[in-house]
Chain A
């Protein structure tokens, strides 16, 4: 009994005074385990994953400009049946049209900035010592892609929330917050329009020098996309020579157009185009909005009537429905309201053509235009001609209008072209018996930043 006692005591003591302390001494490592598989210290191997997060990086680009544009109209019944009060405001260009509904800051301001966050996260991680284990090509690709996405998103935001670029006032006009770091503590005020576009162009240029010429999937940027994006940017700031140069460089790398005569493009289908089709250079989609739903959005009658009967787009892009025509030309094969707004060769041909025309090169301008239209009209196609560069420019802009609808481009074009008396448009809508008008260069061409973003940050709102 006594012996037993001693043994037991020993056992207990061993347990108490040896095992437990050992457990505690091993605590240092014990407490370093990550608490969840969802909680990860970012590693370099995750960086490509951030870029390939399609839902974050390639979708949900702002569509409020498209809602405000003149590609479509809503029947009173359909307008009245809409529950989205904010969208109704954009549609009728209400003076205080703004995203105020719950959750709209996340959806319409924070979501694009999440793309920028990912880009900044990649750029910051690449500056850390661990990144040195990556090979240079990988680093270049990651860095180039991050810069591309950041610039691409800044551009999209600039089209909605800043004044159209005007070289004389761009140094003072309010730009967007140019967030280039991930830290929450870093405060970013509104930049200027000049700084905004400088940043966009610098980033695109650097991306251009880093990106590979091609990528395995059209959700990833490459050199072609960078040229195309630069062409689009230079066009928006009316730097037509550079827009032309970039478009040209882009088309040198990739210039495929789809022939709408092809039997693979259905004239009856509601989704005639496939995803990542041959014209797509880089895939992005706009955030869905109820008012743009093909089920209710009727094509602007004048616009529809401007297509000739030889123009295959009249059948492929539109379908007759009660009360008008619906749009079926989405480069994303869906019947809902997620519209393709990425980069495609048709747009780049039109940019180059416009650049040539503005430079007075009628011939090259019309060549580009005919190259595109040959693929849009029934064959045999007869080239259209222009009497001079101005005539060519007019024709090019008209085709631009007819080619690039519901692509998130019209709003940007309206802002740009309104500055030129020749191409000004006064937008007008009749809704429930009331006529709404949006005169050229109106302050409402700069949308109000979602109220929630203003409230939290105290950023200056756009003037009204």
Chain B
């Protein structure tokens, strides 16, 4: 049935130019409005546009005017009418003020009687489904007719075939579509304006437009993700997401493999270091995140609260990172995109490490020598004469009378000028150089689409021996053989090759075998030739063996040896995805997804035949009487293999129904089953290895009585092992959200997980978890009429997620092996069984407010959350007469609360220039509310390394220390308090109560965030990110005389030590005493004297790019550059310490340049 529409169009064309000056003359009494329109049209030539029904309720008009201006006349006749008007060109457009209830009822009746149903799909500019797009009828654009579902589909009834649909979505140009056929495909084009606020977030199970979500999501879009460069995916999130914190100081290794484990989202929810869950294209990712090529990543969504994350159930307690990769698009021509960049890092600043000066250290050695500290070392010959540092040997020679004191002093003083860090900087470290290349091809026909990409990364690490190569290949092919069915296939292959320095060589300064190398050691002589700084054996002893034909050269020159041993690894990761989606109708669809993932890691430690490691082994196992060799000449080889496979199958039903134009229901339900199997083995050391023929020689691993060259007996190292794991999970899940009139959204989800990793009592029971949420788009209310803030939304959620801690045994853990000495198989329980082990549970309440001001000048969100984690696995001390000292129980509770704020502003905007600011602020405080079986010795709460330190009522990362009473004035001993009195009874202080300790705060910042400014001028952009962290504490290194004497390492604060009475007035650094008192050192380094405030502001990076306007054949051609790790702008500590670094050097500054383009 047709809606009767009357459009009044003049029959007579007005030739003369009509203008507002036109005068109207009327004299009417109780004339219908329609008639008045006709008269005015006749006089002025203006058309009136309206429908008959609009005029149904209008009142008759009485008017008498002479030569009155048109505007005045219109004003007059429209007064007190239910319709309003607008002048447009030469027409008066009439529209209704508001609908009467009768009119509404009429419209509904009319709606029911309509009989044409139109379905269609709305795609974004990339050809991907655009959920949440609004569909209106052109003829009545005041109300929403339909909204697209998560698959971009919509369905509505329209009056007739000539109906025009208006399809709109924030940030896109509104599209007019004439109905043609019944299944439309509408591709949206980006609007000219900014894209802020257009966010479709992915939970890994479904895609939801952010404005329709109740939960707490953070989206890192492609542009933000690619703001910085780098080999890995995770580090690009740092400083870009509120509440996401990278705990570098405690958790992260600069080149470490597991960057995710150092991440927290909204603080910790577990005491077992549980990491956020990583989801790659809808499936939990079990592999090494470093294997994902960042160039394949389209965007990342972070799920923060229970409603967002609860769909991941028992693994979501620490938040979820959902990585979505780029996909092919239907009906697209071939698009090739290319990206490359080069990154150079500065050499590590070893001089940042506050190390005692060579000269001071030499004085310490002289002091110790006088105390006879080295006597037993000098006289020791068993099993071989010990290594003596140059100063000690010179002093020993002086004592023996082979050097005069003048000669000795001259020789010693000559050594004072050397600092081994110079040699490390010069020969062991280099500027790290990373190359990255990525190429992708995508396109699609009506029936299929594809995305194929390849990436290559080559990193030459800062250690001269080390490098990393990665190749990634990806192929995605989706096809739709028949209309309602889509089949998705995908293969991802990645391979990385690493080469690192082998054992027993010069390695990372301060972390390797030679870490305790004396400060004035030299790796080369004046001419730059490698020298022998000395290591295990006395150099005179080794020199004495030089002419022994039965021995190999036993000298060790680290720089000569540096490339003679290596750990070489190759790791291959293959993921195979198969999925089908079947769309039953516009409401219901079903997905089945299957994934097979396998990782193979093969690595080997290879010692060349001429490496020191090999020569030392061969010599050591040379029989001292007959000089026979128990270890054959040749290389030594230790292969290690690892393999893991994961399989998952998931079935899911999706429903999406919009009815009566105001109601929308989106629901999913499904089930999932997952199995991860892993195994690893070390084949054991192989000897006599010939790399060319890949052959070995046999040795006698079993004989434990092999005579050693320097006396005693030994056994040849074998070290073979095997282990496997098999974790299985089943899950049922459902999620539904209902939207009413684009104003109210309620959502709920439920999930139940079961697994084999917990106690027999709990595995089957599973862990049922749920969440619920609601949101209110206040700005869509009719009463809301703010021009200042046209978008305002309030949302709240509450629900539960969990943590699945694997590796904590519910059974007795028994490791098995063969004892090398007895050759008997053994079994060893390594922890106690706990059949009641179960999932940790995290409950979270979230409030959020999203807003944007006029023209998106200021957009932002405020969120407040309250998180209570219960049944947290905590390691509690148990009666050590059980044979074990700790046991993990589900005993602890945590209470976290916090706030996330994100503000983005457009500060300046002209056609040429734009200045945006993005401000992120996170507040997070985590308190341990329950912790059973606490330890009672104060010393156990010191947490020297600054990690999780659970104490009831305190921050989870509590920093505590012994109160410090300064130095005593007589010998400069550090003093603490015992029962309120100043005391030096360190043992008694250690055994004190936790309440005796001074509490500082948290070692994780309570407040942190970033401030980013982006400037755009034509194609040129420049952007700088500042990161801040406030309200936290860290324990710096202090002087430790035990370490100084025994490990050759002392803090530079040695210079400020107490030396005479009176010094205690201005220094807290204890005096040097002999013999060293370990307890005194421990006390000082655990005292308040070494606690510093961590607060600081850092200029993290500056990035810049230029996009070329037009280059023939190229699109979006962009060159870019960025500088990262620029430096600290302000810090609370006055010692120049980088609070992010605990005992290493600061992350070196890097410079990247790159080019990306499409064609």
- Interface residues of chain A, those whose CB is within 8 Å of chain B, are 1, 4-5, 8-9, 12, 15-16, 19-20, 23-24, 27-28, 30-42, 46-47, 49-50, 52-56, 75-85, 96, 98, 100-102, 105-106, 109-111, 113-118, 121, 177, 179, 182, 184, 187-188, 217, 219, 269-271, 274-275, 294-296, 321-323, 326, 333-335, 450-453, 455-457
For A322, the closest partner residue in chain B by CB is B379
For B383, the closest partner residue in chain A by CB is A335
Point out the residue from A15, A40, A55, A269 that lies within 8 Å of B592, measured CB to CB.
A15
Q: Which 4 A-B pairs have the closest CB atoms?
A: A49-B827, A117-B883, A77-B372, A80-B1075
B998 in the interface (beta carbon within 8 A): no
Point out the residue from A38, A100, A182 that lies within 8 Å of B723, measured CB to CB.
A38
**Cα distance A36–B679 when bound, in Å?**
9
For B936, the closest partner residue in chain A by CB is A455
B376 in the interface (beta carbon within 8 A): yes
**Cα distance A50–B824 when bound, in Å?**
11
Min CB–CB distance B216 → chain A (angstroms): 31
| Given known contacts A12-B582, A271-B712, A79 and B376 CB-to-CB distance under 8 angstroms | no
Contact of B726 with A24 in the complex, beta carbons under 8 Å = no
7 contacts between A and B (CB under 8 A): A19-B649, A32-B756, A52-B826, A83-B1045, A85-B1078, A111-B883, A117-B829
Contact of A38 with B813 in the complex, beta carbons under 8 Å = yes
**Cα distance A420–B679 when bound, in Å?**
62
B885 in the interface (beta carbon within 8 A): yes
| Given known contacts A30-B673, A100-B991, A84 and B826 CB-to-CB distance under 8 angstroms | no
Contact of A27 with B730 in the complex, beta carbons under 8 Å = yes
B371 in the interface (beta carbon within 8 A): yes
| Given known contacts A35-B727, A455-B991, A333 and B1078 CB-to-CB distance under 8 angstroms | no
Among B724, B763, B883, max chain A CB count under 10 A is at B883
Min CB–CB distance B115 → chain A (angstroms): 23
For B580, the closest partner residue in chain A by CB is A12
Interface residues in B705-727 by Cβ distance below 8 A to A read 705, 711-713, 722-727
How many pairs, one residue from A and one from B, have CB atoms within 8 Å of each other in the complex?
A: 278
For B830, the closest partner residue in chain A by CB is A38
**Cα distance A179–B816 when bound, in Å?**
25
Contact of A12 with B882 in the complex, beta carbons under 8 Å = no
**Cα distance A177–B807 when bound, in Å?**
31
| Given known contacts A15-B651, A31-B756, A49 and B825 CB-to-CB distance under 8 angstroms | yes
Q: B1073-1089 CB contact bits vs A (8 Å, 1 = yes)? A: 01111110000000000
Q: Taking A12-B590, A100-B991 as given, write out 19 further A-B residue pairs in contact, using a Cβ cutoff of 8 Å, ordered by the A residue number.
A: A23-B649, A30-B730, A30-B756, A35-B756, A36-B813, A37-B725, A38-B815, A39-B812, A49-B816, A55-B828, A75-B375, A81-B372, A101-B1078, A110-B884, A179-B881, A184-B832, A188-B879, A452-B880, A452-B885
A106 to chain B: which residues have CB within 8 Å?
880, 885
Min CB–CB distance B839 → chain A (angstroms): 14
**Cα distance A245–B310 when bound, in Å?**
72
Point out the residue from A75, A78, A83, A455 that lies within 8 Å of B1046, measured CB to CB.
A83
Contact of A40 with B814 in the complex, beta carbons under 8 Å = yes
Q: B138-156 CB contact bits vs A (8 Å, 1 = yes)? A: 0000000000000000000
Min CB–CB distance A169 → chain B (angstroms): 23
B44 in the interface (beta carbon within 8 A): no
B383 to chain A: which residues have CB within 8 Å?
270, 335
Contact of A53 with B725 in the complex, beta carbons under 8 Å = no
Min CB–CB distance B498 → chain A (angstroms): 26
Contact of B712 with A333 in the complex, beta carbons under 8 Å = yes
B217 to chain A: which residues have CB within 8 Å?
none
**Cα distance A75–B377 when bound, in Å?**
13
For A96, the closest partner residue in chain B by CB is B987
Contact of B673 with A54 in the complex, beta carbons under 8 Å = no
Contact of B726 with A9 in the complex, beta carbons under 8 Å = no
Contact of A105 with B885 in the complex, beta carbons under 8 Å = yes
Contact of B881 with A113 in the complex, beta carbons under 8 Å = yes
B109 in the interface (beta carbon within 8 A): no
Contact of A42 with B878 in the complex, beta carbons under 8 Å = no
B485 in the interface (beta carbon within 8 A): yes
**Cα distance A106–B673 when bound, in Å?**
41
| Given known contacts A38-B723, A46-B814, A80-B1075, A270 and B712 CB-to-CB distance under 8 angstroms | yes
A113 to chain B: which residues have CB within 8 Å?
880-883
For A97, the closest partner residue in chain B by CB is B987
**Cα distance A55–B816 when bound, in Å?**
12
Contact of A271 with B673 in the complex, beta carbons under 8 Å = no
**Cα distance A19–B590 when bound, in Å?**
14
A456 to chain B: which residues have CB within 8 Å?
877-880, 935-936
- Interface residues of chain B, those whose CB is within 8 Å of chain A, are 371-376, 379-380, 382-383, 482, 484-485, 580, 582, 584, 590, 592, 649, 651, 653, 671, 673, 675, 679, 704-705, 711-713, 722-728, 730, 754-757, 763-764, 806-807, 809-816, 819, 821-822, 824-830, 832, 877-885, 887, 935-937, 939, 987, 990-991, 1042, 1045-1046, 1074-1079
For A176, the closest partner residue in chain B by CB is B881
Contact of B812 with A41 in the complex, beta carbons under 8 Å = yes
**Cα distance A295–B726 when bound, in Å?**
49
Point out the residue from A35, A121, A450 that lies within 8 Å of B806, measured CB to CB.
A35
Contact of A333 with B880 in the complex, beta carbons under 8 Å = no
Contact of A100 with B372 in the complex, beta carbons under 8 Å = no
| Given known contacts A9-B582, A35-B806, A81-B1075, A109 and B881 CB-to-CB distance under 8 angstroms | yes
B811 to chain A: which residues have CB within 8 Å?
34, 39-41
B757 to chain A: which residues have CB within 8 Å?
35
Contact of A182 with B756 in the complex, beta carbons under 8 Å = no
| Given known contacts A184-B887, A453-B880, A53 and B730 CB-to-CB distance under 8 angstroms | no
For B704, the closest partner residue in chain A by CB is A275
**Cα distance A219–B937 when bound, in Å?**
38
Contact of A270 with B814 in the complex, beta carbons under 8 Å = no
Point out the residue from A78, A118, A333, A455 that lies within 8 Å of B935, measured CB to CB.
A455
Min CB–CB distance A464 → chain B (angstroms): 13
**Cα distance A456–B887 when bound, in Å?**
13
Min CB–CB distance B380 → chain A (angstroms): 5
Min CB–CB distance B174 → chain A (angstroms): 35
A334 to chain B: which residues have CB within 8 Å?
712
Min CB–CB distance A454 → chain B (angstroms): 9
Min CB–CB distance A9 → chain B (angstroms): 7
B878 to chain A: which residues have CB within 8 Å?
184, 456
| Given known contacts A37-B725, A52-B824, A217-B822, A295 and B382 CB-to-CB distance under 8 angstroms | yes
A28 to chain B: which residues have CB within 8 Å?
764
B590 to chain A: which residues have CB within 8 Å?
12, 16
**Cα distance A60–B145 when bound, in Å?**
80
Contact of A77 with B375 in the complex, beta carbons under 8 Å = yes
Min CB–CB distance B288 → chain A (angstroms): 20
| Given known contacts A9-B582, A96-B987, A271-B711, A35 and B882 CB-to-CB distance under 8 angstroms | no
Contact of A35 with B879 in the complex, beta carbons under 8 Å = no
**Cα distance A35–B808 when bound, in Å?**
10
**Cα distance A78–B809 when bound, in Å?**
45
| Given known contacts A34-B726, A101-B1078, A113-B882, A452 and B754 CB-to-CB distance under 8 angstroms | no
Contact of A100 with B584 in the complex, beta carbons under 8 Å = no
Among A81, A100, A335, max chain B CB count under 10 A is at A81
Contact of B724 with A121 in the complex, beta carbons under 8 Å = no
For A46, the closest partner residue in chain B by CB is B827
For B944, the closest partner residue in chain A by CB is A102
Min CB–CB distance A338 → chain B (angstroms): 12
Contact of B482 with A270 in the complex, beta carbons under 8 Å = no
Min CB–CB distance B928 → chain A (angstroms): 19
Min CB–CB distance B522 → chain A (angstroms): 26
**Cα distance A450–B935 when bound, in Å?**
14
Contact of A27 with B813 in the complex, beta carbons under 8 Å = no
Contact of B821 with A15 in the complex, beta carbons under 8 Å = no
Min CB–CB distance A261 → chain B (angstroms): 22
A101 to chain B: which residues have CB within 8 Å?
1078
For A20, the closest partner residue in chain B by CB is B651
Min CB–CB distance A209 → chain B (angstroms): 25
Min CB–CB distance B421 → chain A (angstroms): 26
A116 to chain B: which residues have CB within 8 Å?
881, 883
